[in-house]
Amino acid sequence: LELWLGAASGRFALFRRYPICKWSGTLGPKLAEGDLQAPEGFYRVNAGQLNPHSRHHRGFNLGFPNAFDRALGRTGSALMVHGGCSSTGCFAMTDPQIEEIYTVVEAALNAGQTEIDVAIFPFRLSETALQSEAQNPWLGFWRNLKQGADLFEATGRPPAVASCEGSYRFGSEASGPGCTPIAGWA
């Protein structure tokens, strides 16, 4: 898990990398409640998704299924980034790690940021990595995720993201008829 913070330059800078203690599933996105997969895609978290009293120390709900997932009929609930080291579709970070992550997320939301962006990728989306997965049925989906990752890398800022007719769209293309912005819980 990488935590990025806005810098004075207007770009985001890497604050810290954390090893994920435990996640479940295999490569590929979560499709249905109970499949034990962790989600892949773009999510937004607002203050209503924070859980300071999680049974796993602290946590925040990723907001799965988002507008993209719902458009594709994907189901699931209570998918979190949390403490501890067990997972049934969540990202378990250990208690000391989630304490720091949660504190930064909560501080950003308390300081007036309405939502934080969360991008979940199955691996670093380099062209080499994608080519090694050329036979994987999720390759097209991962190439779509790479568009958002590349835009973040180019601009240094999380792009606007929307679900548009069965795919993610980013930046100026993330609006218009048939598009639903990716947002935290209403």
Which class for 31: exposed (0-12), middle (13-18), buried (19 or more C-beta within 10 A)?
A: middle
Out of 56, 57, 90, 164, the active site residue is: 90
Catalytic residue among 82, 85, 164, 179: 82
Q: Which two tokens stand for residue 31?
A: 């499709």
Tokens of 71: 């458009």
Whether 74 and 163 have beta carbons less than 8 Å apart is answered as no
| E strand or H helix at 107 | helix 95-110
**CA-based diameter of the chain, in Å?**
45
Task: Respond yes or no: is residue 82 known to be catalytic.
Answer: yes
What are 182's two structure tokens?
Answer: 């990716």
21 annotated active-site: no
Q: For the chain, what's the residue count? A: 186
What is the set of active-site residues?
Answer: 82, 90
